[in-house]
Amino acid sequence: MSVKFNEDFNLTFVYLYGKSNYTEKHNAYNFKSKRNDVDLALNYKLNNYFKIFAGIKYLSFDSMRVTCGTIPNIAINQGDHKGFGPGGGLSFTFPILEDLFLIATVSGLYLIGNETIEETDGTNTWRIKADYNDYGWNGTISIAYYIAPASTVISLGARHQEFRTKYDTGYNDLFYATVRQTITGITLTATYTFSM
């Protein structure tokens, strides 16, 4: 959603939800995950093609182990990862036809959050909590079509997000100090624009 204040400034809200399956390579765990990604940003128009933006971001995802290839002494059953913090970047819009556009964005993020991990050794189960910092970047590219009667833009494209999670010292004794995560996928969005 985009709220336009004047010709130079507008406020945007983006919500992304997704499900995924993935493998943790170190111990061959197979997980399924649900993800929520929320961005609220103030945009400033530099010219007809470029905007800069800055705002806040909320990111959360869970992970549930479904199978395990190699069973170590300690196995992770599930986890919850939640973070909040600032972000900012640059967006580019290029007209292809009258109502058809190419849109691309690149942005950085820095989040502060906490993670809860449930572990088991086959007999006992316990939970570990840790604070962390996420830092990384997002990139998107899409083709967008403006439906004038509905004041709505429909866009189809791709998104890549890469970030590193740096855990606090207590957590590092049990797990990696820094974990790198990448997510790439197809996005379909609808943006409704109105003036205040």
**Where would I find the beta strands (DSSP E) of the chain?**
2-4, 9-24, 29-45, 50-68, 75-95, 100-120, 125-147, 152-167, 178-195
Residue 49's pLDDT is 94
Residue 180's pLDDT is 81
Whole-angstrom distance, CA of residue 181 vs CA of residue 161 = 8
Is 95 in a helix, a strand, or coil? strand
Is 92 in a helix, a strand, or coil? strand
Q: Please give the model's pTM, rounded to 2 decimal places.
A: 0.74
Q: What is the pLDDT of residues 12-44, one digit of tens each?
A: 888 888 887 777 666 666 778 888 989 999 999
DSSP state of 67: E
Residue 125, classified by CB atoms within 10 Å of its CB into exposed (0-12), middle (13-18) or buried (19+), is: exposed
Strands 178-195 and 2-4: parallel
Q: What is the pLDDT of residues 72-82, one digit of tens each?
A: 555 566 678 88
Q: Is the pLDDT of residue 100 over 90?
A: yes
Residue 178's pLDDT is 74
Q: Mean pLDDT in the chain?
A: 83
Q: What is the pLDDT of residues 125-135, one digit of tens each?
A: 777 778 888 89
CATH of 2-195, one of 2.60.120, 1.10.3470, 2.170.120, 2.40.160: 2.40.160
Q: How do the domains of the chain map onto residue ranges?
A: 2-195
